[in-house]
Amino acid sequence: MKSFQNLLLLQNLYRLKALGFEYIDSFSVNQKTSHEKALNLIELAKDISSCHLCDLSKSRTQSMSGFGNTNADLMIIDFNVSLSDDNSNSYYSGRSGETLKKMIENVLKLSINDVYLTHAIKCKALNSNIPSDSEFDSCKNYLFSQINFVKPKVIVTLGEEAYAKVTSENDNFVSVRGHVIDFKDYKLIPIFHPNHLLRNPDDKKITLNDLKTIKSCL
């Protein structure tokens, strides 16, 4: 165990060196043992905020753990943090965020404080690249712990990437979009990402029907 902890410490030192640090105060390694798992969403958010398990920690302004009702019936999962999200530390930033907010408030008739919104990958991508599988693997335990803590009735994934990462399925997204899928102990419904709707406004009618399906499951 000691050698494993030393390896983690060395890994963190190399990352800090790459960021330009030469001298630092003492710090605790952000990796917990199996006996020190987060017991609630507050502890989990602290773990996420201090996470350096992948290279995305180098470019973020902050890591974003989640926002909203921690006992929500509806949990929405986006793929990754956008540059706009990271800069503003807002979960409903930019045109995409405004579109999502309108979907929640105008169609589902909920407040953004009634739902729980999080990302499959908690930090923005490096240089606007698509996050890698290994970077998702670093966040995967955080995401599924959040699902277990919130215990929503319905999980909604935004876009093809979020659906694929959450379910580990490579189905044709068009064939599953809007369908109610049994996923573990939950109902999961994939829908188009708000960014897709901004580029393809004709698909708003399809998403309106998908939102009605979501509403009927709550």
User: Tens digits of per-residue pLDDT, 174-196?
Assistant: 999 999 999 999 999 999 999 99
Task: Show Cβ contacts of residue 105 under 8 Å, excluding neighbours closer than 6 positions.
Answer: 111, 112
pLDDT digits (tens, 9 = 90+) for 36-87: 688 889 999 888 888 888 777 777 777 788 999 999 999 999 998 878 877 7
Question: What pLDDT, on the 0 to 100 scale, is given for residue 122?
Answer: 85
State the DSSP string of the chain.
Answer: -HHHHHHHHHHHHHHHHHTT-SS------SPPPTTS---SHHHHHHHHHT--SSGGGGT-S-----EE-TT-SEEEEEEEE-HHHHHHT-TT-HHHHHHHHHIIIIIS---TTTSEEEEEEEEEPGGGPPPPHHHHHHHHHHHHHHHHHH--SEEEEEHHHHHHHHH-----HHHHTT--EEETTEEEEEE--HHHHHH-GGGHHHHHHHHHHHHHH-
Cβ(63)–Cβ(51) under 8 Å? yes
What global pTM score does this model have?
A: 0.80
State the average pLDDT for the chain.
84
Question: What pLDDT, on the 0 to 100 scale, is given for residue 29?
Answer: 46
Question: What pLDDT, on the 0 to 100 scale, is given for residue 140?
Answer: 87
> What's the CATH fold of domain 59-217?
Uracil-DNA Glycosylase, subunit E (3.40.470)
Q: Where is pLDDT greater, at 21 or 118?
A: 118
pLDDT digits (tens, 9 = 90+) for 105-117: 999 999 999 999 9
Question: What pLDDT, on the 0 to 100 scale, is given for residue 34?
Answer: 43
Question: What pLDDT, on the 0 to 100 scale, is given for residue 35?
Answer: 45
What amino acid occupies position 172?
N
Cβ(211)–Cβ(107) under 8 Å? yes
Q: Could you state, in order of their start, the residue ranges of all structural domains in the chain?
A: 59-217
